[in-house]
Structure 1
Amino acid sequence: MTRVLLVGAGEVGGKHLAALVGAPRLTVCGVADPAPSARVPETVPVFASWRSALTSLAPDLVVVAAPPGTALAVARAAARAEAAVLVEKPATTVLAALAPEPGDQRIFVGFQPHFAPGLAALLAQPPVIDRAEVRLAVRRDPHYYRGWRRTYATAGGVLHQQAIHGLALVLRLMPGNVDAVDATAVHRRALAETEDHVTAVVTLDGGPTVHIDARVDYRGQSVHEVVLHLADGRRLQVRGRNLEAGLGESAAAPTDEDLRRAMYAAVLDTAAGQPPHPCLYPLTALRRPLEVIDGVYRDARVVRAAHPASS
C-alpha cells in the first residue's frame, strides 16, 4: 500500500480526504493540520505540525491542501524527503518563489479537472487555437472570505483561486509570449481585497487571444467552462461546473473523487519512472499562468462600484 500524508484538512483538504480514503492501493497514514475542520477518521493520526508528520511517517505521497505561501514550503520539504508531492493550486501567488530548487521535479500542481474525458488526448497533441474563452461564474459570499482568503497576499485574486483551472488548461494548449493585455477588475462588495469580477483579453505572439470573464458575485447556476476556437474552424467546449465533463457530455461527467484519484495515480506512476501523464502539471509549468495572471492584474483598470452587486 502507498502511504499518503494529507497536509491541510480544511474545505479542500476534506475533498482530498474523501477521495484518498476510498482510493485503491492508498492508505492515509496521517493528516497534518493544527485545527482540522474536515472530519478525520478515528484511525488516522492527526499532527499539529507538518514537519513532525513528515519526519514521523516518511510517506510515499504527500498531498498539500494548505493555503498559498505555506503550500510551496510544505511541498518542497516533502520533495526533499523523497516523497511524491501533489500540491493544490496555485501553490504560490509569488512568481519569484518558483525559482528552481532541487527536488522540484517531484512536485505536481493539482488540476483535477484536466483529467476529464478527452483532455489527455488534447494536451498530448494540442491543436492550433485562434481564440480561447475562459468563463467562470460562481457565488462566493462573506463566509467564504475568512482567514487567509481575505487578503491578496495570502490568497491572490479570482484568477489565482477560482479561474486558474481553465486558464492553466488554455495556456498549456496555447504557446507564445504575451504581446498585450486589456483587462478590468471590478470591486463591488468589499468582502475582501480580491475583486468580484475580472475581464481580460490577452493577446499572444502571432495574434491568438485568450478571453477571460471570471466573477464570484453571480446569482445563477455555477459554471466554469472553456471554449476553444480552432484554426481549422472547429469549436471545442470543455464543459461542467468546474470543467469536469471535459469534451464529453455533462451528464456523463466523472465525479470529483474519480478525477482526484486519477491524478494521484498519475503522480505516483510518474514518480516511479513512467512517462509523465499529459494531464500532469509540473511545478515548473506553473510559471506561465502566474506570469499571465500577474500581467492581467498589473495592467487592469480597477473599478470600485459604490453599491453592492445585484447580478
Structure 2
Amino acid sequence: MLTRVAVAGVHGHGATHVRNVLRLSDRATLVAVADPRPSADLPAGVEIFASLEQLLEATKVDVVIISTPIQTHVPLAALALRAGADVLLEKPPTASLAEFEDLSAVIAETGRACQVGFQAQASQATLHLAKVMAEGRLGEIRGISAVGKWLRTARYFDRAPWAGRRRLNGIDVVDGVVTNALGHSSAAALLLDGSTGVDDVRSVETDLFRANGIESDDTSTVRITTTRGTPILIAVTLCATEHLEPTVIVHGSQGRAVLSYSSDTLELHEGSCLTRKTLERTDLLANLLDHREDPAVPLYCPFGATGGFTRVVEAIRLAPEPRVIPEALVRWEGEGPDRHPIVRDVEHWIDRAAGELALFSELGAPWT
C-alpha cells in the first residue's frame, strides 16, 4: 500500500518536496497540500487546502512534509504528529530551545517519527568522514571550521515577510545566515564531532554582522565549543563576490579533510596522500519511508539529533542585534530585486577565521 503524503507549504523549497513525492510514486502518493497561496502546478486529484488543520480534518495522511515559515514549524509539526502522521520537518526545526523541548515532548507523547531536513546528514561523504575521524586517521582533531561564501540579492529577502527577521509580530523567527541559509554547515560540523545532542554543546560565542537592511545577520562568525572540547568555527556570509559551494574543514594533527556537502564531495589529506571522491546521498523522505516500514532502520536526522544545532540557534536568538557593517566597506551591485551588497575582502577574513578558528572581532576584521 502506498504511503499517503501531504505537503504543507508548496512554494520555494516546498515545490522541491512536491516533486520528490511524485518521484517516489512507487512508494508514496501525494494526496493533499496545504498552502494559503495554492499552486496551479499540481497533479490532478491532489486536494488543496488553505491550512494544514483543514487538511488533517478532511484527509487521512501517513506523512506530512512541513516546508513553511520557521515560526510555524513547531505548531504545525505538533498538529501533524497528534493527528497520527510522521513528519519530515524542514530546517531550522525550531526557533528556540524552548520550542525544541516542546516538540520533543509531543514526539515522545505520540510515538511518531520526526525527520529534519538536514540533507547533508544523509550524505555518504559526511558519514564516511565521521568514520575516518572516529578511526583516528586524521589524528587528534584540533578543530572544525565551516566556510560559506554566498551571494544573495534583495529578491531573497523580499520573498516572504519572515525572511531576514529575528522576530515577527512578537514571535521568534531567528532567520539568518548561520541559522537558516547556511545552517547545514553548523549541523554537519556538529555531526562530524559526534555532538548532535542538546547536551553536547558547552558554549556558543556569536559575532554577528549585516550589510543588508534586515534584522538578522548576513555575515558572521560563531564559535561552538562542544563538551568533547572541540572548537567549531562557523565563518559565513551572504555578501560574497561570487556564490561558492560551502565546505566543512576538519583540522587534524595528522591530516585534513574538506567536505563539500552540496555536491557530496570529500577530500582527504592524509600525510602526503590526497584522495578525492564524490559519494551518494540517501533521500530523507525515502529514509523516513524505510523507517516506517521497519522501525529498526534508523532515521538519518531524527529530531533529537538537532539539539546541538538548536543550542546554536538559541545563542543567536539571545545575542545582541547584528552590528551594521559600515557603508565604506560595502559595494553594491545590481538593480532592483537583483541588487546585493559585497563586503570588502570578506572572503579573506572568512578564510582567516576558518584557518585560525577565530572570530572576526578577534582577528580585527575592519567592520568589527
TM-score class, shorter: 0.7 to 0.9
Residue 18 of structure 1 is matched in structure 2 by 19
Residue 163 of structure 2 is matched in structure 1 by 149
2:188 equivalent to 1:188: no
1:93 to 92, 95, 100: 95
How does 1:1-311 map onto structure 2 within 5 Å?
1-23=2-24, 24-36=26-38, 39-99=41-101, 100-101=105-106, 102-103=109-110, 105-122=112-129, 127=134, 129-146=141-158, 147-153=161-167, 154-174=173-193, 175=195, 177-190=200-213, 192-205=214-227, 207-230=229-252, 233-240=254-261, 243-247=262-266, 262-277=283-298, 280-295=300-315, 298=318, 302-307=322-327, 308=330, 309-311=341-343
Post-superposition Cα deviations, 1:266-306, rounded to whole Å, max 9, x if no partner, equal 1122233333436x222122222111233356457943223
Provide the rounded CA distance (Å) in 2 between the counterparts of 1:253 and 1:89: 23
Residues 208 and 50 of structure 1: is their aligned pair in 2 closer, same or farther, counting only changes over 3 Å?
same
Residues 183, 301 of structure 1: 8 Å contact kept:
no
* Offset of residue 130 of structure 1: 2.7
Provide the rounded CA distance (Å) in 1 between the counterparts of 2:111 and 2:148: 30
Provide the rounded CA distance (Å) in 1 between the counterparts of 2:229 and 2:323: 28
Residues 207, 220 of structure 2: 8 Å contact kept:
yes
* Offset of residue 113 of structure 1: 2.5
Post-superposition Cα deviations, 1:3-56, rounded to whole Å, max 9, x if no partner, equal 110110110101111222112322111111010357323432211121121222
SS in structure 2 opposite 1:143? Answer: helix
* Offset of residue 203 of structure 1: 2.8
**Letter in structure 2 aligned against 1:115:** A
Provide the rounded CA distance (Å) in 2 between the counterparts of 1:186 and 1:150: 12
Residues 84, 268 of structure 1: 8 Å contact kept:
no
Provide the rounded CA distance (Å) in 1 between the counterparts of 2:285 and 2:276: 23
Provide the rounded CA distance (Å) in 2 between the counterparts of 1:204 and 1:300: 22
Provide the rounded CA distance (Å) in 1 between the counterparts of 2:7 and 2:183: 22
Percent identity of equivalent pairs? 24
Post-superposition Cα deviations, 1:239-265, rounded to whole Å, max 9, x if no partner, equal 15xx332437999566xxxx5x72112
SS in structure 1 opposite 2:246? Answer: strand
List runs of 5+ in structure 2 lacking aligned partners.
Answer: 168-172, 268-274, 331-340, 344-368
Residues 67, 155 of structure 1: 8 Å contact kept:
no
Post-superposition Cα deviations, 1:148-167, rounded to whole Å, max 9, x if no partner, equal 21421225221111222121
Provide the rounded CA distance (Å) in 2 between the counterparts of 1:8 and 1:301: 29
Paired residues in the alignment total 301
SS in structure 2 opposite 1:118? Answer: helix
* Offset of residue 87 of structure 1: 0.4
Provide the rounded CA distance (Å) in 1 between the counterparts of 2:111 and 2:117: 14
* Offset of residue 96 of structure 1: 0.2
Residues 296 and 69 of structure 1: is their aligned pair in 2 closer, same or farther, counting only changes over 3 Å?
closer
**Structure 1 moving runs of 4+ over 4 Å:** 121-126, 176-182, 248-254, 296-302
Provide the rounded CA distance (Å) in 2 between the counterparts of 1:271 and 1:164: 27
Provide the rounded CA distance (Å) in 2 between the counterparts of 1:75 and 1:206: 32
SS in structure 2 opposite 1:140? Answer: coil
Provide the rounded CA distance (Å) in 2 between the counterparts of 1:239 and 1:212: 15
* Offset of residue 63 of structure 1: 0.7
Residues 148, 247 of structure 2: 8 Å contact kept:
yes
Residues 11, 37 of structure 1: 8 Å contact kept:
no
Give the TM-score, by structure 1 length. 0.85
Range moving further from structure 2, 33-42 or 143-152:
33-42
State the structure with more CA Rg. 2
Residues 49 and 138 of structure 1: is their aligned pair in 2 closer, same or farther, counting only changes over 3 Å?
same
Residues 222 and 122 of structure 1: is their aligned pair in 2 closer, same or farther, counting only changes over 3 Å?
closer
Provide the rounded CA distance (Å) in 2 between the counterparts of 1:219 and 1:39: 35
Q: Tell me the C-alpha RMSD between the 2 structures.
A: 2.8
List runs of 5+ in structure 1 lacking aligned partners.
Answer: none
